[in-house]
Amino acid sequence: MPLLRLALAMLLASTLFGCSSFALRDPVRIDLVGLEPLAGQGLEVRFAAKLRVQNPNDQAITYNGVALELDINGQPLARGVSDQGGEVPRFGEAVISVPISISAFSVVRQAWGAAGHPPGQSIPYVLRGKLASGLFGTTRFSDSGTLDWPQPLEGPYAP
């Protein structure tokens, strides 16, 4: 019986220690800082999305995979994954490159949706993803905002 109590006490202690390691962390900040064209297949368009990851926490973020989704105007536009690994230092930043694909169907859907937007109107976007790091170490991120639909040219340079 004392062995059972000791085992239960150790289990409880390890559970409490495990939960304390999940201290509250500030969310990471992810910004799309560049797109570089990549070779695609057939009608798809591919880019290397450059993401600046800023870690406002006191512990480094180690990752071994990245997933990324971009929605424009409530519709999916681009998706990408990478098995690259690395580390974002504590109170530091890193630039991560993720290959993303835009299917021909997504381009048509976006063009169809854009036809209903007059020039100068804002179009909402959502960027979501995760930095994978094992079962409990995954860091999810999300960013949203609006893109301004360009105004037609006026003046001497207008077509």
Q: What is the pLDDT of residue 20?
A: 44
- pLDDT digit string, tens, across residues 69-80: 999 888 888 999
Q: What is the pLDDT of residue 114?
A: 64
Is residue 91 assigned to a domain? yes
Is residue 12 assigned to a domain? no
Query: Does the pTM of the predicted model rise above 0.75?
Result: no
Domain count for the chain, please give it.
1
Query: Which of the residue ranges 12-16, 60-64, 105-109, 118-122 has the most confident prediction, judged by mean pLDDT?
Result: 60-64
- pLDDT digit string, tens, across residues 63-116: 999 999 999 888 888 999 999 999 999 999 999 999 999 988 787 777 766 666
Is residue 155 assigned to a domain? no
CATH number at residue 35: 2.60.40.1820
Is residue 34 assigned to a domain? yes
Q: What is the mean pLDDT of residues 3-27?
A: 58
Domain range spanning residue 134? 26-146
Is residue 118 assigned to a domain? yes
The rounded mean pLDDT for the chain is: 80
Q: Got the DSSP string for the chain? A: -HHHHHHHHHHHHHHHHHHHTT---PPPEEEEEEEEEE--STT-EEEEEEEEEEE-SSS-EEESEEEEEEEETTEEEEEEEE---EEE-TTEEEEEEEEEEE-HHHHHHHHHHHTTSPTT-EEEEEEEEEEE-TTT--EEEEEEEEEEPPPPP-GGG--
